Amino acid sequence: MASEIAEVVGGQLVGDDVAVNGATIDSRSVSTGQLFVPIVAARDGHDFISAALDAGAPAYLTSAGAVDGAAGAAIIVDDTARALAALGAAARDRLPGRVVGVTGSVGKTSTKDLLAGLLATTFRTAASEKSFNNELGLPLTLVNAPDDTEAVVLEMGARGIGHIDLLCSIGKPTVGIITRVEGVHLELFGNIEAVARAKGELVEALPDDGIAVLNADHKHVAAMADRTSARVITFGLTPESDVHASAVVIDDELRASFRLHSPWGETDIRLAARGEHQVPNALAAVAAAGGLGVPLEKFAEGLLGAALSGLRMELVTSERGVTILNDAYNANPTSMSAALQSLAALAAGRRIAVLGTMAELGHDSAWQHEAIASQARELGIEVIAVGEPTYGADVRHVADVAAASAELSDLGAGDAVLVKGSRVAELERVAQALLN
């Protein structure tokens, strides 16, 4: 009820005490019964309160007073973002103890998706949508979790020291997964040691009876075992890991199969997720799911049936017979390298990578882009760089998506194209142009 929300967030209810079911910050995606939370950012969400009410929101938070003549109930607060965080924390307190936080420089979203698929074989499971992993997306995941939820998977991103700690104060995870620590977002963190400090805040927040799932193949992650009193389960590609894989095989569709070894037994696994780099993500998901009680016989089913977020290693073929590997959601040196290796593994006549910028690399940006271009040359891959000059002189440079699409007009059956860049590049439009 709106009155309960007002009490939780320390707000003042103006209007009827209406029933509320869930919340959203986007007036375009309101479901009937959802609370609308206007966020003040580049655009002021208060400007869209009327649209949200028209779409079916019965109530809204506001730091600008009630909207004159509006039919919905207003909950007046000092700061809508802080109120959303408080609402998320209250929602978390109503949930059971199976709450998993997932963080790391790369692989967060895929690991979250794979784990959600595993947990759903045994528990009623809620998980972060897409990459909703910040101080807005995480509380929304908690608020929108159905009342009968038995397990929750929360993706956690960080843009500085203290961010993960803040998210943990809202989500109170009992299990924490650290995928990898890489030189990503160095423009914000400064160095990889700072990245490790920030990501490790997750394991520090775990309770004594919790579980820390750590990548044994990465020294910065493995060292986090000393930062937690929780039980540690390791995963990795080396046999010394608690959860590891052997006999990894990649098929023509870039899907991995392997023999899984775990404290709960061994079984054969086949992934629907594409790319060999998904194997460690699957191992991390198994470690968390097994620790929470998902039985061995459910591992293969859960991993194969996991629903994956869009624009990540999507493989399609155009009417002209061009194979398109659309991995355009985001890019950093680690994920870019993995995507190039996947492209090289495809059977193709020509292999072309349409690459956008890798953002937030700080002082390392120029040489990191050059290194990716060098790797592409070694793999026999042509590169078309979109709006990023630091890929160097040995690649084709174009200014925008339209020009990149024009460069691909002569492709035909048997050719393969990778499309990848940081979110700001919006290179999924190149993949769509090839399909059209």
Q: What pLDDT was estimated at residue 361?
A: 86
How far is 372 from 383, CA to CA, in rounded Å?
10
How far is 43 from 50, CA to CA, in rounded Å?
15
Tell me, letter by letter, the H, E, C secondary structure of 25-41.
CCHHHCCCCCEECCCEC
Flag whether 417 is marked binding. Answer: no
Residues forming beta bridges with residue 351, ordered by sequence position = 416
Q: What pLDDT was estimated at residue 346?
A: 95
Compute the Cα dihedral for 143, 146, 150, 151 and give only its sign: negative
Flag whether 104 is marked binding. Answer: yes
Flag whether 267 is marked binding. Answer: no
How far is 392 from 385, CA to CA, in rounded Å?
9
Contact assessment for residue 273 and residue 281, using Cβ atoms and an 8 Å cutoff: yes
Flag whether 105 is marked binding. Answer: yes
User: What's the half-sphere exposure (Cβ side, CA atoms, 13 Å) at 280?
Assistant: 23
Flag whether 213 is marked binding. Answer: no
Query: Which residues are CB-neighbours of 237 under 8 A, at least 6 positions away?
Result: 217, 244, 245, 279, 280, 283
Tell me, letter by letter, the H, E, C secondary structure of the chain.
CHHHHHHHHCCEEECCCCCCCCEECCHHHCCCCCEECCCECCCEHHHHHHHHHHCCCCEEEECCCCCCCCCCEEEECCCHHHHHHHHHHHHHHCCCCCEEEEECCCCHHHHHHHHHHHHCCCCCEEECCCCCCCCCHHHHHHHCCCCCCCEEEEECCCCCCCHHHHHHHHHCCCEEEECCCCCCCHHHHCCHHHHHHHHCHHHHCCCCCCEEEEECCCHHHHHHHHHCCCEEEEEECCCCCCEEEEEEEECCCCEEEEEEEECCEEEEEEEEEECCCHHHHHHHHHHHHHHCCCCHHHHHHHHHHCCCCCCCCEEEECCCCCEEEECCCCCCHHHHHHHHHHHHHCCCCCEEEEECCCCCCHHHHHHHHHHHHHHHHHCCCEEEEECCHHHCCCCEEECCHHHHHHHCCCCCCCCEEEEECCHHHCCHHHHHHHHC
Long-range contacts of 307-311 (CB under 8 A, 24+ apart): 307/113, 307/116, 307/117, 308/110, 308/113, 308/114, 308/272, 308/273, 309/109, 309/110, 309/113, 309/130, 309/131, 310/130, 311/428
How far is 18 from 394, CA to CA, in rounded Å?
63
**Geometric angle at alpha carbon 271, from 266 and 272, rounded to 5°:** 155
Beta strands 255-262 and 35-36, pairing class: unpaired
Flag whether 221 is marked binding. Answer: no
Biggest distance spanned by C-alpha atoms of the chain = 67
Residues in the chain: 436
Flag whether 107 is marked binding. Answer: yes
- What structural domains and CATH numbers belong to the chain? 2-77 (3.40.1390.10), 95-305 (3.40.1190.10), 314-435 (3.90.190.20)
Divide the 436 residues of the chain into consecutive groups of 10 and give the mean pLDDT of each group: 94 94 93 94 92 94 87 94 97 94 94 97 94 92 96 94 96 98 76 92 98 97 97 97 97 96 98 95 98 98 91 90 92 93 94 94 90 97 96 95 92 94 87 86
